[in-house]
Amino acid sequence: MRIKFRSNKDLARCKPQPDRQVDYFDATFPAFGLRVGATGARSWIISYRKAGSGYPTRLTIGKPPGMDLDTARDVARRYMALAELGADLKTVKRRLQELRKEGDRRDGAAMLEGAAGRAGDGAEALAFLDGELRGRQEENKLTFKVARRRYLREYAEAHTKENSYKGCAGILNSPDFKDWLDRPLAALSKQEVREFLKGVGERRGLKRANNYRVALRGMLNWCLSEDLIERSPLAGIKALTRTTSRDRVLIDRELGQIWNALVPGDVFNDLLRVALLTGKRIGEVTNMRWSQLDLDKAEWRLSGADEKNRIPHVVPLAPKVLEIIRRRPRLKSSELVITAGGKPFHNRGQRKKALDERCGVTGWTIHDFRTAFATWANENEICGPHIVEAVLNHVSGRTVATAGVAATYNRATYLRQRRTVLEQWTAHILACARRYGPGGQQNPAPVQAEELPSNVIQLFG
């Protein structure tokens, strides 16, 4: 119901209804009004739209006569200005109430019920809301571009692994965010972020959209921790799809086809050959450095900083892996072992597509090498499960030998056993390569016994 509020005398025209409350809105300031309950109780209200919501919300901001018409209208204007700047008005009101209660306790006054209703409430509210507006205006100087730069420089670069940092920076610097660059970070709404992620999912796939969500979450959570924003527009937005474990396992024929398609000496192919024979992640192989290698002992020593789980790991190298490494040129300008021009090789996408066409195997990822190794070792009872986990440097896969009290006292590295099982795995891959031709056809010639290393033994327990 509309009514023109000229002075406090006009409030008498706002009559209660016996069976319901009535909201009388100001004809000259439509967002501001007076709520009259069935019992005659009166409260000043505003009607506004929350960020990301299409529906109006009403908020009580004070009560007459403690807050007169002119003061209530000024308070309403400040609340509406805060709403325009993206503030959560219920949170603002709650802080104002807490401030009043603290003042009551300090002054020894009785606590009063409601948001207002005493002399001086209007002046107190105006002073508080003016401070909120100044803080919000300062906060709105923090654009997405500024927040992104600060997050990457002040936190992510120093506190995340190199590959994780590059992945995160690559996402946050993506042209997909071009429309947000000069937007105040606090003005981004939950609905905008949700629609943005849906758009990424449609263009780039749901898995990629989940990666965007993770990168955004890291930046927004850091901004929250630094008190740069009061709320995260990502809060409550779930991943677009669940991350599920892959059930793709490369079979012997496919392993043989892939190995036969990997040309020795090529950077990408050598990366994959070492990753396949060692069971290591492709990112770890990409960053292999000469200083990590002890070729005389046939060992590759990774520090905690080099490993995904931050646990140092010594990788025993089979003779075939040593052969691949020794054939790599050692550059004066770079410590990297398998590199093109001294820089890490990251152009794997296009090369992987070409490899798929060349070998005839599709629907697999480089990470499936680790699954193939673990499945082969366990299914064929080559060694105990804890040896497999030790090869992969896993801490999540608990076995009888590494769970509970054993996890505390068992500090064995199983280096000898891991060396043997990786030599067996190398022999198996080479046998698969001889057994199957480039197109997957099986060769008639059997695998010769001399192809297997002499120290291959069964390792149980």
What is the full per-residue pLDDT of the chain (461 aa) written as tens digits?
787 888 888 888 888 888 899 999 988 888 899 999 999 999 999 998 876 566 788 999 988 888 888 899 899 988 888 887 777 888 888 888 888 777 666 555 443 344 434 434 677 788 888 887 777 666 667 889 989 988 998 888 878 877 788 889 999 999 999 999 988 888 888 899 999 999 999 998 888 899 999 999 999 999 989 888 888 999 888 887 765 556 789 999 999 999 999 989 999 999 999 999 999 999 899 999 999 999 999 999 998 777 776 788 899 999 999 999 999 999 999 999 999 888 888 788 889 999 999 999 999 999 999 999 999 999 998 888 989 999 998 764 444 344 443 444 445 788 999 999 999 999 999 999 999 866 667 776 544 433 444 444 444 33
* Cα 303 from Cα 309, distance rounded (Å): 11
CA-closest candidate to residue 76, choices 16, 112, 139, 34: 34
The answer on 186 and 256 residing in a single domain is: no
Residues facing residue 35 across a β-bridge: 23, 43
The answer on 265 and 385 residing in a single domain is: yes
Strands 2-3 and 22-26: parallel
* Cα 373 from Cα 429, distance rounded (Å): 10
* Cα 253 from Cα 308, distance rounded (Å): 30
DSSP per residue over 295-345, as a string?
TTTTEEEE-GGGSTTS--EEEE--HHHHHHHHTS---TT--BSS-BTTB--
**Residue 459 resides in a domain:** no
The answer on 336 and 256 residing in a single domain is: yes
**Residue 238 resides in a domain:** no
The answer on 20 and 42 residing in a single domain is: yes
CATH code of 13's domain: 3.30.160.390
Q: What is the pTM of this model?
A: 0.54
**Residue 192 resides in a domain:** yes
Q: Name the domain count of the chain.
A: 3
* Cα 427 from Cα 423, distance rounded (Å): 6
Strands 42-49 and 32-36: antiparallel
Structural domain span for residue 75: 2-139
Mapped onto helix, strand or coil, the DSSP state of residue 277 is helix
**Residue 303 resides in a domain:** yes
Residues facing residue 46 across a β-bridge: 32, 59
The answer on 171 and 193 residing in a single domain is: yes
Q: Which of 139, 173, 198 is the last residue of a domain?
A: 139
